[in-house]
Chains A and B, each alone.
Chain A
Amino acid sequence: MQATFQALTDALVPESEQHGYGPHIGSADMGVHEYIIYGLNHYISIQQQLDRCIIPLAYPTAIMLDVAAIQLVNAQQAQPSSQSLFPKGRMFSYLSRKDRVRTLSVLENLNLDLYLLPSPYKNNSGLVKHVVDVLNRFSLFGYYSEWPAYGTTRLFPPDYRRLEFFPLCWQQVGYPGVSLGYRDFRGFLLKMRRSEG
């Protein structure tokens, strides 16, 4: 499952070897695949008989991506490499970046046999579209927000995370982070009439 999500973020977010987050972060995507797994596993909670329970979506989502990748390969729309680009990966992680994006596109456009997808996605087009979109949004928000900079605490419950360094993506895009204010006041174009007295 980890490999599938690594393959996902690898296809969506920029190549990031140059980030040099050091060994404690490890993976090339700054651990963003773990952000997606956490998000998917906390996304839907419902009542079942007497219990409120979470529907963990990460595992079936990974299977959905692999099943979709197999369908693409079988239809000769994608060419797998001879081995997984990520350890222990399944079919999705055998595909090139472009074919991985194409797999997402095929899923989102429902251009495949929905019967072959795992529960809860089987013949559930609305949920497929919704979650495939989520995968894109989570990847980008995980990557460009401060989440990677929670470092070793990033998978702690939200209130126990601590920023361990300045988010490198923020540095890259020139965002100064938390600010007390900016001296960029250029005047008022209009004032409320009542304040003019």
Chain B
Amino acid sequence: MKTDPDVIVIGAGAGGPVVAKELGELGIHVLVLDAGPWYGNEKWPEPNKSRGKAKESSDPSDLDGFLYRKQLTRLENDMNDLVSGKFRWGAADRRRGPWYRNIPDQAILWQSAGIGGSTLHYYSNSPRAFPEAINNEWPINYDELIPYYEKVEATLPVEFAPTTTKEALFYYGAEKVGFPLNRTLDVTSVGYRPQPNAILPPNEHLMNPDYSLEELSHMEGCTLSGHCGQGCPYGPSLEKMAKRSTTVSYVPLAMKTGNVTFRPNTFVTNVLTEFNANGNEQVVGVKIRDTWTGENEELRAKVVVMAAGCIETPRLWLNSKLPHNPWVGRGLTNHYMDMVTGTFEEETLMNILGSTSTNPFVGHTSAARMDYPGLGMIETIGESPGLSAQQLFGFSQYGYNSLRQSDSDMWDQRGRLVGNELEQAMQGYGRTLTLSAITDDEVLYRNGVELDPHIKDEHGAVPFVHYSPSKKSKERREKLIEIATNILQQAGAKKVHRADLPPNYFIHLHSTMRMGFVVDTSCEAYQVDRLYIADNSVDYNALGGPNPTLTTQALATRTAKLLANKYF
């Protein structure tokens, strides 16, 4: 007879598999549910074409690196298309449309369903939060997080990114401006440094022509292929793939405990609760829907952990009619981002780098950063041509460069480019350096996720998402983009383009179920016993600007420990 798991985890993205692995190691039985497909598991040889013979998998020998490599084609349209890509917010069956979120503005909301969640496409950037953004702000201290940061950094593992041509150019510009190198993981002052990335260091033979790139791609270590955003299936086996999405790191580790089962293609539509003897509402299980067959089922457990992300976790709370809390879904932050692209002349590059191009598609997609406590951060981005064109030249709150007279002499071009100016900009693609300004934006009650009162999908009312930055966040972004522009100019850029991205650009989402408002310091819901949260939504704020994933994974490690101590 099949027994109920001790713990159900909703979502196998950045946080869920961490909780599962930690609990599994303590002998606690965990079932992790995810709405999307599973790439690299023999039980789903064609995960987008058919539902497969099995419902779930718990045996690490099901994991298959060759399959992963075959499925992750590294083609940007096949992998990253927001409507039909393999990494999208939608069902495994790509003939169907994505799951709808109503965002009534110019918007990109970049999340991925599937085992691995948005770590499937993330760039693996794993910096810690700024201590000043935690201390005296959060209900817990930075020092409390450090041992958990260290554990996650060792487990993934996290390493400082190697330098390729584009980073060398960034460091050159940052130094010319006068910024110091910041040799730390705990950032308290302004400076540049390589990204701490969850990517294995390059193989020691990468520069040795005796080893072919084909051979190297089957050996351990990053090959600098630049396919971070497309998943990166390079390595000797699934669990040794260079880019450490949770699907190749924490998921295999969780399965190896013998106590964790993962079930893809399963959308949780309700969290089920009852009143216990103390008169408190407590969680008893979840209601699920199979995304291939539409079958509904109820699953029971002693504890439920929501790790569905900053949109779906509050949506699920609201659709489950869990107790009213005015902060559920509220306080959304997204690092109010912008991008500037410098295009360089061959001669300039030759003099600085000994190369006539930057080749932005080489190396870690985002490998170097400038930390700026008080404002946020700046990081390098080197995406493939389609994604670059879309984000840099096709997505802007400024409108069309050709229709407006520039009111600033900082940027040669601003906003969307069309026709010949677009062609010219893309002709320079191989000689560009793009910097992203990522703002420490303020938590505002008005920003967040609600249920759309008029639109439902098969999982209930759809999320209605809205965000507009505060005055202070706007000022910070302006300062950051000017600093980024200055770095490009000092490095010798001939031309600088500013994207002026719209506010509703969601790559880093946080703080929609904030600690101290919706969950307590152990990340258990104040109003529902035995219900925990382990995703970016518990963040009290936007961490000062650094990428959120590592902090979520550190918190998830801590939550698992506290949860186990309390209930097992």
Contacts and interface: CB of A to CB of B under 8 A. Distances in A.
Interface of A: 11-15, 38-39, 42-47, 52, 54, 97-98, 101-102, 104-105, 108-109, 125-127, 129-130, 133, 136-137, 139-147, 157-159, 161, 163, 169-170, 172-192, 194-195
A182 B202 CA distance: 10
B163 A137 contact: no
Given A44-B100, A130-B104, A144-B385, A136 B394 contact: yes
Given A143-B389, A178-B74, A194 B154 contact: yes
Contacts of B214: 180
Given A180-B234, A188-B163, A140 B390 contact: yes
Nearest to A145: B386
A97 to B, nearest CB: 6
Nearest to A187: B163
Interface of B: 46, 48-49, 73-78, 81, 83-85, 94-100, 102-108, 153-154, 157-160, 162-165, 167-168, 171, 181, 183, 193-194, 196, 201-202, 206-207, 209, 213-214, 216-217, 223-227, 234, 357, 359, 361-363, 384-390, 393-395, 399-400, 402-403, 416, 418-420, 422-423, 426-427, 429-430, 455-458, 462, 502
Contacts of B98: 42-43, 45
B384 to A, nearest CB: 6
Contacts of B234: 180-181
Given A15-B419, A130-B104, A144-B389, A186 B96 contact: no
A140 B422 contact: yes
B106 A11 contact: no
A195 B196 CA distance: 13
B84 A42 contact: yes
A175 B75 CA distance: 12
B394 A140 contact: yes
Contact of A141 (B81, B99, B216, B399): B81
Given A141-B389, A144-B389, 15 more contacts: A12-B419, A47-B458, A54-B97, A126-B103, A136-B416, A140-B389, A144-B388, A157-B95, A158-B94, A159-B46, A181-B216, A182-B224, A184-B165, A186-B168, A190-B183
A184 B160 contact: no
A39 B225 contact: no
A186 B165 contact: yes
B419 A39 contact: no
- Which of A45, A54, A169: most chain B CB closer than 10 A? A45
Contacts of A141: 77, 81, 386-387, 389-390, 394
A129 B153 CA distance: 41
A39 B88 CA distance: 13
A30 to B, nearest CB: 13
A130 B98 CA distance: 16
B389 A146 contact: no
Contact of A185 (B95, B103, B160, B164): B164
A101 B403 contact: yes
B548 to A, nearest CB: 20
A83 to B, nearest CB: 21
Nearest to B462: A46
A188 B194 CA distance: 8
A180 B225 contact: yes
A125 to B, nearest CB: 7
A126 B105 contact: yes
A145 B387 CA distance: 7
Nearest to B159: A192
B403 A145 contact: no
A137 B387 CA distance: 9
Contacts of B48: 158-159
B374 to A, nearest CB: 23
Contact of A188 (B102, B160, B429): B160
Nearest to B73: A178
A107 to B, nearest CB: 11
A195 B159 contact: yes
Contacts of B422: 12-14, 140
A46 B164 contact: no
Contact of B427 (A54, A161, A172, A179): A172
B426 A182 contact: no
Contact of A189 (B163, B227, B363, B458): B163
29 contacts: A12-B422, A13-B418, A14-B426, A38-B83, A45-B97, A46-B455, A46-B456, A47-B458, A52-B457, A126-B102, A130-B106, A133-B502, A140-B389, A140-B394, A144-B426, A145-B385, A157-B94, A158-B78, A158-B85, A169-B426, A172-B427, A175-B361, A179-B227, A182-B223, A183-B206, A184-B165, A184-B362, A189-B163, A192-B159
A108 B206 contact: no
A189 to B, nearest CB: 5
A130 B201 CA distance: 40
